[in-house]
């Protein structure tokens, strides 16, 4: 059985594109991490922790963990704490390029494999009116960097360089290839 160690509805939807059957089990892993090691290493570590926490009581199953962050000028933007925090993040991203890093870990009886996918995203300049409107939709609050490219936040994106599904939260093509190699 394949288990997705995530409560994200977006990851569940994306995994459904490559697997017909899987279960979801939310990981209770500690998500405290030392960001000074770099965002790519940190998201890979978090993905491994999430997968390991579920795999510990699911021997014989394949467990997938993932974590996503937005990085602007080397600074990690996680999920906003409140509307003011969301506005600060969106103002910082306005008219700029940033990176979205998604770490993925796959664990099973055959071992552990992990990787990080990085996609560059460029935003249009945003007006305060656009930012306030978007915050009022409620979308920013459960998303790294305070936006969802797959929802209303797509209207802010001028360019994307890399894997779109990395930005959504699960790099589907790379994960599919990794799952094919697990046996």
- List active site positions: 67
State which H helix or E strand residue 83 sits in. helix 83-93
Bridge partners, 103 (sequence order): 67, 116
What is the Cβ-side half-sphere exposure of residue 14, based on CA atoms within 13 angstroms?
24
What is the C-alpha to C-alpha distance for residues 88 and 86, in angstroms, rounded to an integer?
5
Q: Are 41 and 71 in contact (CB under 8 A)?
A: no
Q: What sign has the CA pseudo-torsion 162, 148, 95, 67? A: negative
State which H helix or E strand residue 179 sits in. helix 172-180
Structure tokens at 18: 């490559």
DSSP-based three-state secondary structure for 122:
strand
What is the C-alpha to C-alpha distance for residues 164 and 65, in angstroms, rounded to an integer?
18
Length of the chain: 183
């Amino acid at each position: 059985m394949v288990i997705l160690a995530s409560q994200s509805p977006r990851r569940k939807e994306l995994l459904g594109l490559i697997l017909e059957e899987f279960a979801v089990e939310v990981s209770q892993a500690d998500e405290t991490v030392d960001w000074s090691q770099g965002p790519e290493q940190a998201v890979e570590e978090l993905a491994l922790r999430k997968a390991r926490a579920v795999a510990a009581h699911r021997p014989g199953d394949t467990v997938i963990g993932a974590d996503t962050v937005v990085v602007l000028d080397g600074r990690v933007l996680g999920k906003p704490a409140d509307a003011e925090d969301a506005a600060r993040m969106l103002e910082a991203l306005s008219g700029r390029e940033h990176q979205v890093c998604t770490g993925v870990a796959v664990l099973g009886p055959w071992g552990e494999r992990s990787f990080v996918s990085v996609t560059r995203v460029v935003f249009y300049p945003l007006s305060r009116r656009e930012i306030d409107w978007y915050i009022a939709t409620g979308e920013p609050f459960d998303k790294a960097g305070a936006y969802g490219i797959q929802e209303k936040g797509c209207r802010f994106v001028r360019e994307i360089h890399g894997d779109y599904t990395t930005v959504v939260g699960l790099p589907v093509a790379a994960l599919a290839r990794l799952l094919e190699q697990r046996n």
